[in-house]
Structure 1
Amino acid sequence: MELVATGISLGIDNSELLAFLNQGIRTIKYLVKSYYWILTLRLSMQWFPNINPYVHPMYALLYLTDPFLENFEGLVPNVLGMDMSSMLAFICLEWIIRTLDSIAFY
């Protein structure tokens, strides 16, 4: 007994599908890069103690970035009283961006 796979035509040309996939990868890469800069702004804000992070514009940064940073807490020990887990978060985001740079559909 043989199983024969039948092709299902969606009415989409191969080149259109590849262009759609490439555009999706570029969009995801843009979103990750944007999040990278939001995270950079949030961590730079911590160096200025006179900025209240709980007022509305700054609280949005905390709300967007805290769930991501909580994943890295405790993975890297503190060095001279500084939390290095944010460095691990940046390395992870940079790895994701470089991986998305290398993906291309031909």
Structure 2
Amino acid sequence: MNLLISTLLTFIGIYTALLFIRVLLTWFPNINWFDPPFSILSQLTDPYLNLFRSIIPPLGGIDFSPILALLALQLISGLLRSF
């Protein structure tokens, strides 16, 4: 059981870092999301972010879905650490 929780916590940590990188890269408007390194990052993170975009659409051009996505990952991580 400890191995499973440890693996899940590692995955959540890596995925959180990928989401954070994705958010930081959105500050640069000249990035082409169809180029290989960025398209891979987009393919990995967009399905998860789209779950939260369906709950809260972008308001005034600001996308709040990454905040909710990161909070959800931190909540899950905290719950797993309590086991």
Q: Shared fold (TM-score greater than 0.5)?
A: yes
| Structure 1 residue 24: Cα displacement | 1.3
Q: 1:98 to 1:57 in 2, by over 3 A?
A: same
Structure 2 counterpart SS, 1:95: helix
Q: Structure 1 or 2: larger helix share?
A: 2
Unaligned regions of 5+ residues in structure 1, if any?
1-20
Larger Rg: 1
Provide the residue aligned with 2:48 in structure 1.
68
List per-residue Cα deviations over 1:34-92 (Å, max 9, x = no partner): 00101111111110112212100110000001110111114235444311122111110
Aligned sequence identity (%):
36
Counterpart Cα distance in 1 of 2:46 and 2:4: 26
CA distance in structure 1 between the partners assigned to 2:37 and 2:65 by the alignment: 24
Q: How many residues align?
A: 83
Spell out, residue by residue over 1:2-61, the C-alpha distance to the aligned partner (whole angstroms, 9 max, x if none): xxxxxxxxxxxxxxxxxxx11111011100110010111111111011221210011000
What TM-score comes out, normalization by structure 1 length? 0.72
1:86 to 66, 69, 74: 66
Following the alignment from structure 2 to structure 1, what is the Cα–Cα distance between the partners of residues 58 and 28?
20
Aligned residue type for 1:48: F
Q: Secondary structure at the match of 2:52?
A: coil
CA RMSD of aligned residues (A): 1.3
Counterpart secondary structure, 2:33: coil
Instruction: Give ranges in structure 2 of 5+ residues lacking alignment.
Output: none
Q: What residue number does 1:56 align with?
A: 36
2 CA distance for matches of 1:79 and 1:58? 24
